[in-house]
Each structure stands twice: as structure tokens, then as C-alpha cells.
Structure 1
Amino acid sequence: MTNKSSFVPEEQWPFQLVKSHLETRSLQTENVWLGRIQPKYASKAAAFVKEYRSIQNEKLLHNQRLRRIQKEGEPLILEVILCPEAAMTRDQLEKILADRGIEAELSVFGVPAFPPLTEEQFSEWSKVWPVSFRRPVDRVEQLTNAQLGQLDSVMDEVLRLARQQESSGNVPCAIAIYDLDNDTILSLQADDRKNSGNPLHHAAIQGINNVAVKERERRMLDHDPKEERYLCTNLTAVMSHEPCVMCSMALLHSRIHRLIYCSPQPSTGAMQSSYGIHWRTELNHRYLAYSNWKGKSAPKLDDSIHV
């Protein structure tokens, strides 16, 4: 068992986590009807919200329902989110509240439209309105010095292979599919478009295919279903460059656990761009991505090349 004290803090890793577009987006708000009420009306206001649940926006539940306002020397006031602005007019809302004996000062107010996904978003958005925040457990990684050293050696192999392609006129991009737990490279593959004449033979596509072939051959010799692994499940992809949309989706479908690449491709990459394919909540798999390895550089590529 690994001693927790041997784990290296993430801020000391040689590469950085690539945050998704959801984690880097700025504050967006959605208008709600806000009611300023005295504490004695709190239970009635809560009953109203519960009764009119059908008009509530479930996507706004990360916002706390009320906040306390108390200035020095003044009585306590509660501000309550009653419903989305679009749910009813001021006149309609005033009548409903009056019928329930609730005295409220109404106003339209913009609350955070999305739940915060990072400490930075939580800190900033909470200044607008109190929000709930739970750091995703599956975004937390732990790596030891030994594992970081293993990954360093694998990246060196990948960059060496990528540079070899330059002299032959191939796209100087390469990938390793690596089993970190067993310190084993399952596939070391360069871009093969020129040699094969197939424009789809990017390094990542071919690397995943190599793993599939090896797994198929292994299953022919060993039929124990307990030993079967679906493509790249729990494996690490180490690449010289940020993969394109096609390769990023191929990695996703292969069920890769993490991707580490040396150099971004701002125009064609699918990680640090607005695509953020590695961490889209609407997809049925997500994987961690890291970039900008300190002290290492990949061969320079034209901005228009998809890798």
C-alpha cells in the first residue's frame, strides 16, 4: 500500500490539469423573483415555493433558497428566491403572496445560472448569491514521485519518436498507451498518414488500434473473463501534441483514464479549446487531461494540422 506522505502535491507536478470549458467559464446569471421578507413569513414563503414546485427551475437548485441580511442596528431581513422571473408576472406573484398573507418586497435579481465546479468559481459566484459547492471526487488524482518519474521517461520516448518523424517528412507526432500501475508501454505509435496513405491514421487512432490487437491476441490465448479489459480502460495516453476532435473522441470511446500531452494545438486541439471533449458532462465517459510539461517541448507543428 502506498503511503499517503509519498504522494506529490498536484501543484508540484511538471504538468498542469486542463480544465474543461465548464470549469473556466465566467459567471452567467438567470433572473429570479426575489422577495425581501421578515423572518415571521419564512415558513409561509417556504410553503409557497414547495406548492409551486412545478414552476421552479431545477437547474437553479445549487443556489441556496434564502440569505440573511442584517445591517448593524437594523432588524434581520430574509431574501428568498421565490421563482424564476419567467414563471409569472409581478402582478400574479403579488396576488398569490397576498392571498397567503405574505408581505414581501419584490425585485428581479440575477443568480448564478450554473453550479460552481472549481474553488475559483465558488469564491467569485458566492459574492453574487450563496451557492453550494462540492468538488468532484473523480477530479482528484494522486501520483507519487516514482510514478511521475515513470511518466517522465514515457514522455521522453514519445518525443524521441515524434522527432524521428521530422527527418522522413511525416507529421512529427507520437503517442504511448501506458499502464501506469504496471509500468508497461502497451503501444508506442507515430503518426502514420504518409506511410499508409490513409488520412485517418493519426497517432492516437493507430495507438488505440494496437492496444485492441494485443488484447484480442491475448484473449485467444487466455479465456479468463476476469482478465479482460475494454480497450484502454484505466490506461494513460502520453502524447507529443494536443489531439484533434477525432482523436479525442477515439480516446474517450476507448475509455482512457488520463491524457498527458506536451504541447497544445490552439487551432485544432480538442482539449483546451471550447470543445473540452475530455470533460463534457453530456458524454458517457470523461477522462483527465494534463498539458504544458515543464522543461519539455514537442516538434513544432503548423497550426492547421490536426493530430
Structure 2
Amino acid sequence: MDIAGAPPNKRARKSPSLEEDITGIRAILSDEFDEEIPLIQAHSCQLETKQQLQAVIQELSQKLPHFQHLKRVQDRSVLICPSSEIGVATTLEQHLEQFAFSEHVLRALCQGVRVVEVPQRMPRLRAQYEKSLKHWPCKFHPNHYSESLRNGSNFSSAQRIFHKRMAQLLVRLSRDVNANRPVGICVDPRQLNIVSIAGAAESSSPHEHCCMLLVDFVARSQEGGATKAELPFTEDSTESLDTTLRGIPKAYYDYLIKDEEYKDLTFGAEKSRDSKGVDPIQGSDNLAKFGPYLCTGYDVYLLQEPCLMCSMALVHSRAKRVFFLRSSENGALATRFQLHSVRELNHHYEVFQFTTQEDQDLT
């Protein structure tokens, strides 16, 4: 059925369904990984002899320590400074005189002067490095993990199967348990235990967004939590000494344990230990050392891309990785901006989006 007002030549985008093929997972990386590195203009000189090189570089590194991400020399060409530092009514020689260069170095720097274009920053990936080399030699420290995130090889086959299964489970729980509203799942990736499940409430209050409730339900598993939820939660069995089901609402748990398709799923959060030695600023290894602390070390799966408030809640709760299936108009991880790549935050999680066959058809 056509949607009224839709362009006649464009197929209306459908919501992901259980039947659709989730084709993969793509990392949502900072723009620094995807964009071409901007170029800036720089003044360079051409040395008459290689014997001048040592003295010139020694004084340049002391008095004009620019271009830390670049190699200062290409053959006998030497980068001096960004062209933007030289005033319109100022010559290079006049600019350099204020730095008290020795006479022979100043003379060398003013020979064969030309303006070149160089990369503004260090490349993050090899593809950027190879493009940068076309302009000027630059420094590059390969990061194999970053490369694997970019090319999609960071997950093993078994991990991809599990992640895809969680994405399909989000769709099913939304449809069958939460009246097609967003749902989130928190998983301890060490044993692949489901720690908590939450669905957005019928209320439009942002405090009852799926993600906000999920973080609070994780806190319940650690004998905390602030939300006074009326829904009943799963009771711990007498056999479970090391894990707790306190963070999983009973409706979701009962639905899953009764379905033959999910009989192999495991549930339960590790119970809180003595947390005196926990340093909340450290990374996910604290989960193994000291036990659960908020969402430290946990993976969060969301049907819907979280808004800014929910994304910040995941920062404060110290989630390890966030996966989402559907983009949101007010999404803060990919659609509007990339909160997880803001350097000033004191915690950063990785973000991944599930791709579908429909996504490929639309590209």
C-alpha cells in the first residue's frame, strides 16, 4: 500500500520485522575515521645542501615546533610554519626574525620558499594515511583494532550470530510483550547472560524511555534502582547463589523461558561484591576484578537509537558497547551527532548499528 504524500519513485521505508534479514553490524565511528583529512597551507623552503639540514631542523624544532604529525623534511624541502601565521603584510623573513634564528639558518629558511598543502592532522586509518602521503609524508601508528572496526572484522562468527540474535529478540519482545514500543536488553558479555530487560513505558516522559529504565533495572540487580516500577520482577531461585534475576521484569522472563526457541538463553546478573576497591573511572576490566558496578563492562542492545538524555545515561552508567537497530530522528549516536566520540567525556563506549537488507537496497 502506498503512503499518501510519498514520492512516487521512492519506496516507503518499513520498520524492521522478524522476517527481514539483518545482514550485518557496522561500527559508528567518529568522523575522524571516515572523513578525508583537511589540508592546510604551509610555507616550506628548499635547502641548497643536505649539510644544512641538521642545523635548520634543530632550530626549527626549538623555535617553531609545528607539524608534530608530519615529517618535517621531504628530500631537501623543509616545512617551516602554517601560512596562516604569516600576516598579509608580512614576509616570511620578517615573520622569522622575531624568533631570533641564527643568521645562517634564517638565510637557509628563506631560500626557495613556496606554499604547499599538507594534512591538518594525523591519519587514523591506513586509507587516510595513503591519501595523506600524496601531499606530504606524515607519521602514522597503525591501530589494528580501529582498522577491524572500520572493515567489520572485529567480531568472530559466533559473536555476530549472538548479536544478530539479540537484535531479532528486541523486535520480538517489542511486538509480543511491549505493544510495539522500544525495548532494551543488557548483557554480561563474559557469559552472555541477560542481566536486564526494559521496555519504554506508555508515558511520554523521557524518564520512562526504554534506555533510562534499562539502566535503572540494572541498578536493581545490584540492590539499587530509583524507579518505583509497578510491574513485578523475577524472583531469584534458591539454586542461584552467584547470580540474580532482580533486574528482569517477570513478563519478559516468563515469555522467554516458555519459548522453545530461547531455551538456551542464560539469565542473571552477577551479585554485587564488596566494592570498596572499585575505581569507577577505570574500564570494563573492573567488572572481572570487583564485580558489577552500574553497567561497567556490559553490552546494551536497543531497538531504537537513544536520544541525548539516554545516551548520556549510558555514559554515566559506564556501558561497554551499545548496539541499536533502528535510527531515531533525535538519535544522539549517529543521526544528530556522535555523543560517544566527544573527547571531553570521562567515559566512552563503542557504538554499533545493525544493518538490514533494506538498508542495502536503499543505498
* Counterpart Cα distance in 2 of 1:116 and 1:256: 28
Query: What amino acid maps onto 2:80 in structure 1?
Result: L
- The DSSP-based 3-state class of the residue aligned with 1:231 is coil
Length-normalised TM-score, structure 2: 0.65
Partner of 2:93: 91
* Counterpart Cα distance in 2 of 1:204 and 1:138: 28
Runs of 4+ more than 6 Å apart: none
Q: Is the 8 A contact 1:45 1:82 kept in 2?
A: no
User: What is the RMSD of the two structures over their aligned residues, measured on CA atoms?
Assistant: 2.9
Partner deviation per Cα, 1:278-297 (whole Å, 9 max, x = no partner): 22333222221111334599
Q: Match for 1:216 among 219, 223, 228?
A: 223
Partner of 2:167: 155
Partner deviation per Cα, 1:51-110 (whole Å, 9 max, x = no partner): 314xx34xx311111112xxxxxxxxx111112334444132566678125432112323
Partner of 2:104: 100
Query: What amino acid maps onto 2:291 in structure 1?
Result: E
Partner of 2:355: 293
Q: 1:185 to 1:296 in 2, by over 3 A?
A: farther
Q: How far off is 1:118 after superposition?
A: 2.0
Q: How far off is 1:178 after superposition?
A: 0.9
Q: Given the alignment of the two structures, is residue 181 of structure 1 paired with residue 190 of structure 2, yes or no?
A: yes
Q: Is the 8 A contact 1:208 1:232 kept in 2?
A: yes
Structure 1 gaps, min length 5? 1-12, 69-77, 298-307
Q: Is the 8 A contact 1:204 1:247 kept in 2?
A: yes
Q: Match for 1:128 among 118, 132, 135?
A: 135
Q: Is the 8 A contact 1:165 1:173 kept in 2?
A: no
- The DSSP-based 3-state class of the residue aligned with 1:270 is coil
- Percent same amino acid among aligned pairs? 22
Length-normalised TM-score, structure 1: 0.75
* Counterpart Cα distance in 2 of 1:165 and 1:201: 16
* Counterpart Cα distance in 1 of 2:272 and 2:340: 32
Q: 1:67 to 1:183 in 2, by over 3 A?
A: same
Q: 1:231 to 1:279 in 2, by over 3 A?
A: same
Query: What amino acid maps onto 1:239 in structure 2?
Result: L
Q: Is the 8 A contact 1:35 1:81 kept in 2?
A: yes
* Counterpart Cα distance in 2 of 1:190 and 1:91: 67
Q: How far off is 1:176 after superposition?
A: 0.7
Partner of 2:3: none
Aligned length: 265
Q: 1:135 to 1:284 in 2, by over 3 A?
A: farther
Partner deviation per Cα, 1:11-48 (whole Å, 9 max, x = no partner): xx821111212222333223322112132221121022
Partner of 2:20: none
Structure 2 gaps, min length 5? 1-22, 225-243, 245-268, 276-288
Q: Is the 8 A contact 2:222 2:272 kept in 1?
A: no
Q: Match for 1:146 among 158, 162, 175?
A: 158
* Counterpart Cα distance in 2 of 1:98 and 1:24: 43
Q: 1:27 to 1:143 in 2, by over 3 A?
A: closer
